[in-house]
Structure 1
Amino acid sequence: MKMRVSLVAAALILGKATFAQSVEDGKRFLYYERYQSAKDAFQKALAGKPNDGEITFWLGQAEMGLKDSVGAKDLYQKVSTNTNDPWALICAGELELKDGKNADARNHFETAISLTKARDANVLAGVAKVNIDVPSGDANYAIEKLNQAIEREKKHVESALYVALGDAYAKLIDGGNAVTNYNNALQADPKYAAAHYKIGLIYETQRNPTQYVPEYEAAIQADPNFAPAYYRLYVHYYSRDVEKSKDYLTQYTAHADPGPLVDQANVDILYASQHFQEAIDKSKALLPNTPDAFKPHYYKLMAYSDDSLRSYNDAKTNIDTYFSHPDDSLTAKNYQEAAHIYYKGGFSQDSIFAFLRKAIAMDTLQANKDAYVQYAAALSDSLHDPVQKAYWVGQVYLMDKEPNPNDLYNWGSQLFTTADTLRARDVQATGISNPYYIKADSVFGMYIDKFPNYSVYGYYWRARANWALDTAMDKGLAVPYFEKMITTATSSKDSATFVQQIEVGLQYMIQYYFKKKDYKNALDYINKFLVYDPTNETFKHYKDVLEKYFARQTGGGGKSGK
């Protein structure tokens, strides 16, 4: 009988040990971002304790690592009504945060903490993790709870707590405090690879490879099994050194769980190696059995590969499919690629420029925004679209934080050119060009105000724009601007450089006064013109005719005046 009791006791002890082992295994797999292995371990543990809130929480984290947010939600909903289990309350709080019910979530988090009398560092860390991971979570609240957890564990603080605290600061875009806490984690355990990895991520957001590459390498040195660091190095070298990228991908594949992310990376490297058709074929083979969350990437990859093969119809189909359900890898450059595909394939011009506007809105680097604008201006030129060209040349000026005279001049000049082009096309004379002449006039007004040293050109083009709006010279819209231009140009120490503009202005004023039958002013401007072009036979003839006319008037030579 005693033997039987001993066997039962041993079985119970062994069962508890196996249960505990599977939970710890699951957490360790999460640390290595081996989400499928973590899921398997937690499922095994949950089979023995179906309603356990903590196991459910961690299983949900594994599901989200596998991009199965629906699976995680289903798990959390099953335990969310258990108000006696702090981890079940954390699950409920996460669901509420994701639904925008922040106040309800906070109540559940506080209740979870109160159930343990704020003495359980793991519960405090779990509350913090949710607030860090969920976009609508409160990073400052997470910092508060993690500091409480660290205070509870002050005799032996695990590196994971410092890394979590670093993550909270990273969410606040406080890189300094984030790195400080990651370093604290390394002081607690120099082999804690995740701390090096997280420091690398901070520097990578700053686009500083001289800092982040060594950190990823240090993570691998600290723990050669830490797969995420291999992945980041694979990504780093992807567009820099494809052979090195392949080497890191091989290491990542060896240390990560088989699954969609590994499959995806191994197809991506085919594209980087310029094996475009192979990348397309492999993508098509994987798509039917790929989880929905991973499918968009394949469509994007195929679009890029099709573009490289100049198969623009297929490229359009695939990039459109990608944009219909984009994944979290969507970047501004993807919109630029779409614009390129549509341009090369001869597809909708409106869509081309709509994609580029999205790229500009999405990108956070001003240099990239400027590049997209320049690219759009070049495309509008190639497409012979003067309206788009005027818009994008204007954007070059408007987006420059320190604009220069050339950019503003180019905008006004392009508006004038666009107006001229539209007028030439407007066989019905509907006046579609007029708004562009008016805008050109306005822009050159700005040019005069902002860059007065170049005002001669500003007045000249204001005059030209107003002349275009009043071709019959009935209103004399260009007169004040030509007068100002002539005065400013002739009095300038650089007047010799403005001869062309002066002559155009004088010619206009001569025509204007002839039309007004103000021959005195007409002769005055003819004399001014002949200073610049004394051999001009046309104006010499007009001068002679007018002088004889005035001589007859002075001498009383009759009524005809001719």
Structure 2
Amino acid sequence: MTATLLMVTGVKAQSLQEGIQDLYSDRVESAKAVFEKLVASNPNNIEATYWLGQAFLKKDDIAGAKGVYDKALTTSANAPLLLVGKGQVDLEENKMQDARQRFESALTISKGRKGDDPEILNAVGKAITEVYDHIDKKGDINFAVEKLQAASQANVKDVRLKADILLNLANALRKQKPGENGGEVFKNLVEATRIDPTYPVPAYRNGMLFQSQRNWEMFVEYMNTAITKDPRFAPAYYELTYYYMRVDVEKAKQYAQKFKESADADPQNAYLEYSMDWALKNYDKAIAGAKDIIAKTGGKPKPKVYKLLADSYVAKGDTVSAKQYVDEYFAKEKSEEIKPLDYTLKANIYSAIPGQEGVALQSFLDGIKSDTTESGKLDILKEGIELFRKKQQSKNESALYAKLLEIKPKPTINDLFYATYANYKAAQFGPAYDLAKRMTTEYPDQEYGWEWKYNTAIMLDTAKMDSLAIPAANEWLTFIRKDSAKYAAKFPAVYGYLVQTYNKMKDYENTVAYLVLLKDVTADPARKESLQSNIDQLNDYLKKLRAQPKPAGGTGSAGSK
């Protein structure tokens, strides 16, 4: 009888582990079937019940998970795993205080003579981490990291549990400081693989880490490693399909077939097929296919189906239709699943709609914020800058240049020049002047800073014309006089401006001085003659002015009339 009991227990344990493996491999329906079978045979199977609730959560069926945990807690009110599961549901429902109380209760109840139970520490950290994202920030991610670090330091003999703790810790660290904890994340994932070499998820997560860094060589390597550990690991086939769709369509088709063979039967699996139609520019076919998925799922497809529709309509030039679907995508997709390029898709769509330029700009800024790499941020900025430049939306262009200069460690002269020019076109002369001034400091041997400091000073200096513009004009003259032959064409405009400015100020001494200089650089004989006439008239006026007796007790000055 004992042998039989051990055999049955072993079968159940194996089945539970198979269900968990299916869940991690995105075979959610298969996993759910395993857990439901185990619960049906033993309603008091706490582990199977916990994982059944997790399967519902994986499907974003919060109500389903809540039903599972509420029912089980009526008979097992103090089961720590069930309390953690219900706490995760509370987080999803924005009941932060209720969730925290359940987590604390689960930890207290499970605490033994040797301290906290690492399995419950892991479950609590996992629950918070899976719900938390950098936008909604449901739950305390620092608390999650604290509990997972404690679990990682415990004496855990179960290698899969130990590896899972490190996997969840890596995920929590990633979410705690996006773009900053990469080294720690990588280290924990590598350690998880060392502890349990058969576990495919850490390798997959490392692949996704390198995907976020756009290190495609390492991304492919780690995805293939995950497949080696589990030839039916569907998430890796999915990501490789999507990657090769852009570089090798035939290879993409092979991985898509592998995904289909490894995943649960689901009408949404056809998404990859229709995505390849998009990659091959068969946009009408992609649109028809995506709409077919929506119909077959009763209007509840995965959000990425809406993104495929938006992408396809944009490619066809139909931004009106694209807007409907990109809005659906952003409304239904989880914040952490939205990729930086999704924001640029939204920006491109909204930029084509009159009056929606502000939404387009904010979408680019959101994309920059969500990208964790400097190169990725700069790619988004360049796309946005080019788009706004073509549409002559200089204010938005200048806003993105401001971000570019903030992100780029060493802006080039071109970066500073075009940022200056964008502000100038947008009539934002103060920022343009400051940027031009920065050019003169960082690139003093280049002409652009001096010229545009002068150009912007003219636009700013309308009230008191000698405060900015005249000094800037003289600095510009100092620069171009270093190579008079090269900059010969620049002199007439500057001298002409100074003539007009001093004349308006009734400073006729300087007016004459710059008229003489202007005449010297003028080639047209008629123009020279006209300038000389002006010089003669002003000199005559100045002679008469000087000959006048000074008023008693007054000081008098040239141009005081």
Instruction: Assess same fold via TM > 0.5.
Output: yes
Aligned counterpart for 2:535 among listed residues 543, 550, 561: 543
Task: Note the C-alpha offset of 1:555.
Answer: 9.2
Residue 559 of structure 2 aligns with which residue?
none
Aligned counterpart for 2:50 among listed residues 54, 57, 78: 57
Tell me if 1:485 matches 2:475: yes
Task: Note the C-alpha offset of 1:381.
Answer: 3.5
TM-score (norm 2): 0.79
For 2:145, the aligned partner's letter is A
Give, in whole Å, the separation in 1 of the partners of 2:195 and 2:473: 79
Once structures 1 and 2 are overlaid, which stretch shifts more, 542-551 or 157-166?
Answer: 542-551
> How is 1:201-216 mapped onto 2 (pairs within 5 angstroms)?
201-216=208-223
For 1:34, the aligned partner's letter is R
Task: Note the C-alpha offset of 1:166.
Answer: 3.6
> How is 1:82-231 mapped onto 2 (pairs within 5 angstroms)?
82-95=76-89, 98=92, 99-101=95-97, 103-114=100-111, 122-123=119-120, 125-127=122-124, 129-130=126-127, 132-135=129-132, 136=139, 137=141, 138-150=144-156, 153=157, 157-173=158-174, 182=189, 190-231=197-238
Provide closer, same or farther for how the CA distance between residues 168 and 260 of structure 1 changes in structure 2, counting only shifts above 3 A. Answer: farther
Residue 265 of structure 1 aligns with which residue?
272
Tell me if 1:530 matches 2:519: yes
> How is 1:465-504 mapped onto 2 (pairs within 5 angstroms)?
465-466=459-460, 469=462, 480-481=470-471, 484-485=474-475, 488-489=478-479, 492-504=481-493
- Structure with more contact order per residue of length (Cα contacts < 8 Å, sep ≥ 6): 2
User: In the TM superposition, what whole-angstrom CA distance separates every residue of 1:320-339 from its partner, at most 9, and x where no partner exists?
Assistant: 33233334532232232233
Provide closer, same or farther for how the CA distance between residues 141 and 291 of structure 1 changes in structure 2, counting only shifts above 3 A. Answer: farther
Provide closer, same or farther for how the CA distance between residues 80 and 497 of structure 1 changes in structure 2, counting only shifts above 3 A. Answer: farther
Residue 20 of structure 2 aligns with which residue?
27
For 2:85, the aligned partner's letter is C
Residue 556 of structure 2 aligns with which residue?
none
Task: Note the C-alpha offset of 1:36.
Answer: 0.7
Once structures 1 and 2 are overlaid, which stretch shifts more, 35-44 or 378-387?
Answer: 378-387
Give, in whole Å, the separation in 2 of the partners of 1:397 and 1:170: 31
Once structures 1 and 2 are overlaid, which stretch shifts more, 283-292 or 232-241?
Answer: 283-292
Give, in whole Å, the separation in 1 of the partners of 2:328 and 2:90: 32
Aligned counterpart for 2:247 among listed residues 214, 236, 240: 240
Give, in whole Å, the separation in 2 of the partners of 1:552 and 1:16: 118
Once structures 1 and 2 are overlaid, which stretch shifts more, 340-349 or 263-272?
Answer: 340-349
TM-score (norm 1): 0.78
Residue 560 of structure 1 aligns with which residue?
none
Task: Note the C-alpha offset of 1:59.
Answer: 0.4
Aligned counterpart for 1:42 among listed residues 22, 35, 38: 35
Conservation of the 8 A alpha-carbon contact between 2:388 and 2:396: yes
User: In the TM superposition, what whole-angstrom CA distance separates every residue of 1:49-93 from its partner, at most 9, and x where no partner exists?
Assistant: 335432210101122222323311222233346344233333344
For 2:169, the aligned partner's letter is A
Residue 300 of structure 1 aligns with which residue?
307
Equivalent residue pairs, number: 523
SS of the residue corresponding to residue 148 of structure 1 reads coil
Provide closer, same or farther for how the CA distance between residues 416 and 11 of structure 1 changes in structure 2, counting only shifts above 3 A. Answer: closer
Residue 379 of structure 1 aligns with which residue?
387
Which structure: larger Rg? 1
Conservation of the 8 A alpha-carbon contact between 1:489 and 1:502: no
User: In the TM superposition, what whole-angstrom CA distance separates every residue of 1:87-110 from its partner, at most 9, and x where no partner exists?
Assistant: 333334434555323642442232
> How is 1:338-417 mapped onto 2 (pairs within 5 angstroms)?
338-343=346-351, 348-417=356-425
Task: Note the C-alpha offset of 1:265.
Answer: 3.1
Once structures 1 and 2 are overlaid, which stretch shifts more, 116-125 or 165-174?
Answer: 116-125
Residue 494 of structure 2 aligns with which residue?
505
Conservation of the 8 A alpha-carbon contact between 2:242 and 2:272: no
Conservation of the 8 A alpha-carbon contact between 2:213 and 2:373: no
Conservation of the 8 A alpha-carbon contact between 2:159 and 2:195: yes
For 2:96, the aligned partner's letter is G
Provide closer, same or farther for how the CA distance between residues 267 and 463 of structure 1 changes in structure 2, counting only shifts above 3 A. Answer: closer
Task: Note the C-alpha offset of 1:392.
Answer: 4.4
Task: Note the C-alpha offset of 1:250.
Answer: 0.8
Give, in whole Å, the separation in 2 of the partners of 1:514 and 1:206: 60
User: In the TM superposition, what whole-angstrom CA distance separates every residue of 1:277-306 from its partner, at most 9, and x where no partner exists?
Assistant: 222222222213427764422221111112
For 2:58, the aligned partner's letter is G
Task: Note the C-alpha offset of 1:244.
Answer: 0.8
Provide closer, same or farther for how the CA distance between residues 10 and 312 of structure 1 changes in structure 2, counting only shifts above 3 A. Answer: same
Provide closer, same or farther for how the CA distance between residues 116 and 260 of structure 1 changes in structure 2, counting only shifts above 3 A. Answer: farther
Give, in whole Å, the separation in 2 of the partners of 1:463 and 1:184: 60
Provide closer, same or farther for how the CA distance between residues 466 and 166 of structure 1 changes in structure 2, counting only shifts above 3 A. Answer: closer
For 2:416, the aligned partner's letter is L
Provide closer, same or farther for how the CA distance between residues 464 and 48 of structure 1 changes in structure 2, counting only shifts above 3 A. Answer: same
Structure 1 unpaired stretches of 5+: 1-5, 420-435, 557-562
Instruction: Let me know the Cα RMSD of the aligned residues.
Output: 3.9
Provide closer, same or farther for how the CA distance between residues 255 and 511 of structure 1 changes in structure 2, counting only shifts above 3 A. Answer: closer
SS of the residue corresponding to residue 230 of structure 1 reads helix
Task: Note the C-alpha offset of 1:512.
Answer: 3.9
Conservation of the 8 A alpha-carbon contact between 1:128 and 1:145: no
Task: Note the C-alpha offset of 1:196.
Answer: 3.8
Conservation of the 8 A alpha-carbon contact between 2:152 and 2:162: yes
Conservation of the 8 A alpha-carbon contact between 1:506 and 1:528: yes
Conservation of the 8 A alpha-carbon contact between 1:92 and 1:108: no
Give, in whole Å, the separation in 1 of the partners of 2:146 and 2:398: 47
Conservation of the 8 A alpha-carbon contact between 1:163 and 1:182: no
User: In the TM superposition, what whole-angstrom CA distance separates every residue of 1:507-560 from its partner, at most 9, and x where no partner exists?
Assistant: 23333444455544332332233333375222122233345556778899xxxx
Conservation of the 8 A alpha-carbon contact between 1:128 and 1:146: no
Task: Note the C-alpha offset of 1:346.
Answer: 6.4
